[in-house]
A and B are shown apart, each in its own frame.
Chain A
Amino acid sequence: MIEKEKATEILERGLKLSQADQTELVLLEEDTKLTRFAENVIHQNVAKYDHTLFARAVLGKKVGVAVTNGIEEDDLKKVVGDAVEIAKNLEDDPDFESLPTSPDAEKVSGFYENTSTFSPEDRAFWVAEIVKKCKEKKILATGALEITNQGLTVTNSLGIRQYFEGTEAYLSLTSSKNSQSGWAQGLSRDVNEIDLDNITETAIEKTLRSEDPMELPPGEYTVILEEAAVASLLLFLGFLGFGAKTFIQGRSFMAGKIGERITGDNITITEDPFLTQMPGIPFDYEGVAKKKVTLIEDGIARGVVYNSYYANKADQKSTGHALLPNNPYGPYPKNMVIKPGNSSMEEMIKSTERGILVTRFWYINFLNPMRTQITGTTQDGTFLIENGSIKSAVKNMRMGHSILEAFSNVEMMSRKRKVCPQFGVVMYIPAMKINKFNFIE
């Protein structure tokens, strides 16, 4: 990995080469190692090292972006020159004011040596342990163990100088036997915090419990959604409306609703990259120090996240949620947290006369985004609950439901929460018992 001093020196040289009124340079460095296994053997085992340099050049109200993965002098000249040339060709963007300024971000300890040095042999040893336990139960193990080192340096000509280095370890395991399957996952900056035994045993237990699944008719059911299933609902809610871009354009379910009730009063959702369990980065991709943001509080819509562009447009302050400069999606909350309830999973099951327990959802997509209505199937462990206990496995079912409606019908929530990574977003989520949840097939 490139040392902090070296990374900073590269970007300082780049800033000096720029002819723009304002310049921003972002250096993203990633060293990724991944072992994938299927049917009890390692079938894919890879390593990738790359560094990407993003240049944003501002000429008045014109902004150009260029990207390279070279960091030599000629690369710096070209990427900064390209960004300036693009800006020169544009018309003014009336909503652009300036690149941001920001105080130094809070120091976050994100680097763990034992994660960084976790070797191919270490990964193979973990997989061997999983496979051994699965074989004992005549089960097949499929999954991935990923180790990442990441460095992020952001500078701009207005004085922003931010640096972060972090590690991340992620294990996802699907165990299966014939058509039965179970699943569990774990993510942490410290590989030693990944509970290999617990993940393996959880997946195996779900697989064994999924024997002889029965078919249930579509209709309205009480559901108990495990943490990963709730996280999928939150992820898609975030896509629809927790960023300032859709909010300002009026496409968000939050638009025109600030201060109004939009979910049940037991739902509080915050964006909190500083939570200990969260592998958050303390500043965004334009170097603005991140803030904790309350999105929904006791069911009331409170706010959305901003980058500098949309903050200016809405006369707000950036909350530090810019994505990389070459994406068109606007700001997004990448570390969402739901306030826990005071129940246990056992209590939720015990209180349910008839319902369905869902481990996770598969391939969710929008059916009607205006109504936050989505569809997807249950996956890797779906069970019928009757008279307070799990009665039988159930064949996967397709749900079709409004997320806001689901969050308006939450009867119970778990005290315990789990870290749930999905599509680059990491959430910290309780399990939920939700009434009147609709399965369409």
Chain B
Amino acid sequence: MIDFDRISEVALNQTKSLGATYADLRVVHTRDESIRMKNGIPELIDRSESLGFGIRVIVRGCWGFASSCDLNPENVNRVSQLAVKIALASSKVKKNDLVLSPVEKIVDTYQTPIQIDPFKISLKEKLTYLLSLYDLTKKISGLRSFESFMDFREQKWYFASSGGSKIEQRIIQSGAGISALAMRSHREMGRRSYPNSSGEYQTRGYELIEMLKLEENSERVAEQAKALMDARTCPSGIKTIVLDGAQVSLQVHESIGHPLELDRVFGAEKNFSGTSFATVDRLGKLKYASDMVNVVTDPTYPSGLGTFGYDDEGVKAGKSYLIQNGVLVGYLTSRETASMIGKESNASMRAEDWGDVPIIRMTNTNLLPGKHTLTDLISEVDDGIYMETVSSWSIDDNRESFKMGTEIGWEIKNGKLGEMIKNPTYSGNTTEFWNSCDGICNEKHWKVWGTPNCGKGQPAQNMRVGQGASPCRFRKVKVGE
């Protein structure tokens, strides 16, 4: 049992006595279970646990952060001193004292709702289910491999700050997916996956596994993997493209979410994760996208992978607009960066675990649904390509020039889907691309897609984030090589 009151008392008292003008403490206990099966054989089954704490302080107007896995009060005391010492060192190379936007004092508990606790489902039951998926594909000849996985995470989070906040959170995330690989030689391969190339992750319990209906899609992905080997290559040229929700979610992630992280905008990530073209002088002016594009950051959206009650600065989760009617109107902010543009934080400071300092991250970056159906989008295209499932992505450090690839595509001729296409790719410039969006599917096609592996920061942090998206149509896009 973690004596959080005792630990926070030691940390906050010690840092205050050493001159910290602000301090916060997080204790995080993370539990993971991961099951990976290949061709019916368990390839990797592991359970892991990690417990520790991190202390963040401001001394002489600068940040210091120290963390440790040893929760003994004597060590908490020592690490508190180290955090102060580090902040003092930071103050040797500073310009101005940092200022935090205000936050209310909060004493609360929060939990993501679940129906079935995934850690109470036996390993045997999980393995039996994954094996049954493989059995569905065994009859399909020419398949090199069929893989399936499940991941479950429980994170218990305790937060206390010198401002008097004391918050507890329990977040449960589940994920699963399947993929099939067909192969004749290393130059002739077809890969298909479902629901996305990294599966699907949400803040749900084991009920997510039942909702995904992997068993209804196993044979389809296997057959499509085989068919891709003989599919035609992606034509080159300027075409209309329709992207499925998964690929739109990646496009939102890479070309809206990341460029609107305000630490990146201010140059904090220039050496590692890059910068952004969406500078603050363009706030309220930049026509980022076509009028129909509305994007919000919303960590309150139920079941998104970026859903929580409070961020790692103790700021209450809320919904705010980033792009409204196509115009840039907001950023993802921390208390520090929000104060630099005269705003309040929109709860975007997140840390992967106890040992990681919070940095600005996406939560659920949601492209709000439009009015179209997928049939509408396709029927209005004379010559184009429908692309499905994330495969490859690359974007420049300024988040403008990108090249993306999907697992599979189909040509669109005169409003109808035609031949299958392998390795479809497209490229563009962020604002030109989003301004060419002339169709967004409605809420029936919309969901929050989970991205379990968003990398940023040094030491590298792997964050779990969501993007709400439905299929979209873009005109005059460069496709192919």
Q: In the complex, A144 Cα to B269 Cα: how many Å?
A: 10
Does B183 belong to the interface (CB within 8 Å)? yes
Chain B residues positioned under 8 Å from A249 (CB to CB)? 144-145
Does B169 belong to the interface (CB within 8 Å)? no
Q: In the complex, A328 Cα to B144 Cα: how many Å?
A: 17
Residue of A nearest to B359 (CB): A44
- B21-43: contact bitstring with A at CB < 8 Å (1 yes, 0 no)? 00000000000001010001111
A57 CB, min distance to chain B CBs, angstroms = 11
B180 CB, min distance to chain A CBs, angstroms = 14
Q: In the complex, A364 Cα to B471 Cα: how many Å?
A: 26
Does A36 belong to the interface (CB within 8 Å)? yes
| Given the contacts A69-B52, A251-B183, A376-B394, A398 and B403 also touching, CB distance less than 8 Å | yes
Q: In the complex, A176 Cα to B62 Cα: how many Å?
A: 23
Residue of A nearest to B428 (CB): A441
Residue of B nearest to A93 (CB): B41
Chain B residues positioned under 8 Å from A82 (CB to CB)? 47
Q: In the complex, A46 Cα to B461 Cα: how many Å?
A: 13
B267 near A38 (CB under 8 angstroms)? Answer: yes
Chain A residues positioned under 8 Å from B274 (CB to CB)? 362-363
| Given the contacts A48-B67, A251-B186, A375-B394, A67 and B47 also touching, CB distance less than 8 Å | yes
How many residues of chain A have a CB within 8 Å of chain B?
Answer: 85
Residue of B nearest to A122 (CB): B89
- Identify which of B90-98, B113-121, B316-324, B430-438 touches chain A: B90-98
Does B362 belong to the interface (CB within 8 Å)? no
- A361-388: contact bitstring with B at CB < 8 Å (1 yes, 0 no)? 0111111101100011101000000000
Q: Which residues of B contact A (CB under 8 A)?
A: 34, 36, 40-52, 54, 62-70, 82-83, 85-90, 92-95, 122-124, 127, 131, 144-145, 181, 183, 185-189, 266-272, 274, 355-357, 359, 392-397, 401, 403, 405, 423, 425, 427, 458-459, 481
B65 interface neighbour in A46, A90, A125, A379, Cβ under 8 Å: A46
A400 near B481 (CB under 8 angstroms)? Answer: yes
A-B contact pairs, 27 of them (CB 8 A): A36-B271, A39-B266, A39-B268, A41-B93, A41-B95, A45-B62, A45-B89, A47-B83, A49-B67, A50-B50, A65-B46, A69-B51, A70-B69, A91-B42, A93-B42, A120-B89, A124-B90, A250-B183, A256-B186, A326-B46, A362-B397, A363-B394, A363-B396, A367-B392, A370-B187, A375-B403, A400-B481
Chain A residues positioned under 8 Å from B70 (CB to CB)? 49
Chain B residues positioned under 8 Å from A173 (CB to CB)? 271
Q: In the complex, A38 Cα to B337 Cα: how many Å?
A: 14
Q: In the complex, A377 Cα to B403 Cα: how many Å?
A: 10
B42 interface neighbour in A49, A90, A128, Cβ under 8 Å: A90
Chain B residues positioned under 8 Å from A284 (CB to CB)? none
B63 near A44 (CB under 8 angstroms)? Answer: yes
B189 near A86 (CB under 8 angstroms)? Answer: no
| Given the contacts A46-B357, A65-B45, A40 and B95 also touching, CB distance less than 8 Å | yes
Chain A residues positioned under 8 Å from B88 (CB to CB)? 120
| Given the contacts A45-B64, A70-B51, A398 and B186 also touching, CB distance less than 8 Å | no
B186 CB, min distance to chain A CBs, angstroms = 5
B13 CB, min distance to chain A CBs, angstroms = 20
| 16 more CB-based (< 8 A) A-B contacts, given A69-B69, A89-B124 | A39-B267, A39-B268, A46-B459, A47-B86, A49-B68, A49-B69, A65-B44, A65-B46, A69-B50, A70-B49, A89-B45, A91-B41, A94-B41, A120-B85, A328-B44, A398-B403
A128 interface neighbour in B36, B67, B92, B355, Cβ under 8 Å: B92
A366 near B392 (CB under 8 angstroms)? Answer: yes
Q: In the complex, A398 Cα to B394 Cα: how many Å?
A: 10
Does A68 belong to the interface (CB within 8 Å)? yes
Does A301 belong to the interface (CB within 8 Å)? no
Q: In the complex, A125 Cα to B89 Cα: how many Å?
A: 9
Q: In the complex, A172 Cα to B44 Cα: how many Å?
A: 35
Q: Which of A397-421 contact B (CB under 8 A)?
A: 398, 400
Does A163 belong to the interface (CB within 8 Å)? no
Residue of B nearest to A440 (CB): B481
B49 near A140 (CB under 8 angstroms)? Answer: no
A38 near B268 (CB under 8 angstroms)? Answer: yes
B396 interface neighbour in A39, A49, A181, A362, Cβ under 8 Å: A362
Does A252 belong to the interface (CB within 8 Å)? yes
Residue of B nearest to A252 (CB): B186
Residue of B nearest to A128 (CB): B93
Q: In the complex, A366 Cα to B54 Cα: how many Å?
A: 37
Chain B residues positioned under 8 Å from A36 (CB to CB)? 268, 271, 458
- A212-229: contact bitstring with B at CB < 8 Å (1 yes, 0 no)? 000000000000000000
A42 interface neighbour in B69, B82, B93, B458, Cβ under 8 Å: B93
Q: In the complex, A86 Cα to B356 Cα: how many Å?
A: 29
Does A317 belong to the interface (CB within 8 Å)? no
| Given the contacts A49-B69, A90-B127, A326-B44, A68 and B50 also touching, CB distance less than 8 Å | yes
Does A209 belong to the interface (CB within 8 Å)? no
A83 CB, min distance to chain B CBs, angstroms = 8
Does A51 belong to the interface (CB within 8 Å)? yes
A388 CB, min distance to chain B CBs, angstroms = 30
B312 CB, min distance to chain A CBs, angstroms = 14
Q: In the complex, A66 Cα to B49 Cα: how many Å?
A: 8
B175 CB, min distance to chain A CBs, angstroms = 14
B271 near A172 (CB under 8 angstroms)? Answer: yes
Does A437 belong to the interface (CB within 8 Å)? no
| Given the contacts A362-B396, A396-B396, A144 and B458 also touching, CB distance less than 8 Å | yes
Residue of B nearest to A75 (CB): B49
Residue of B nearest to A67 (CB): B48
Does A32 belong to the interface (CB within 8 Å)? yes
| Given the contacts A47-B82, A120-B86, A251-B183, A38 and B49 also touching, CB distance less than 8 Å | no
Q: In the complex, A249 Cα to B186 Cα: how many Å?
A: 9
Q: Which of A6-40 contact B (CB under 8 A)?
A: 32, 34-40
B189 interface neighbour in A32, A40, A128, A251, Cβ under 8 Å: A251
Q: In the complex, A35 Cα to B127 Cα: how many Å?
A: 44
Chain B residues positioned under 8 Å from A256 (CB to CB)? 185-186
A43 near B63 (CB under 8 angstroms)? Answer: yes
Q: Which of A60-89 contact B (CB under 8 A)?
A: 64-70, 82, 85-86, 89
A144 near B62 (CB under 8 angstroms)? Answer: no
B49 near A68 (CB under 8 angstroms)? Answer: yes
Does A319 belong to the interface (CB within 8 Å)? no
Chain A residues positioned under 8 Å from B131 (CB to CB)? 91
- A325-340: contact bitstring with B at CB < 8 Å (1 yes, 0 no)? 1111000000000000
Residue of B nearest to A368 (CB): B423
Chain A residues positioned under 8 Å from B82 (CB to CB)? 47
A86 near B144 (CB under 8 angstroms)? Answer: no
A51 near B65 (CB under 8 angstroms)? Answer: no
B84 CB, min distance to chain A CBs, angstroms = 10
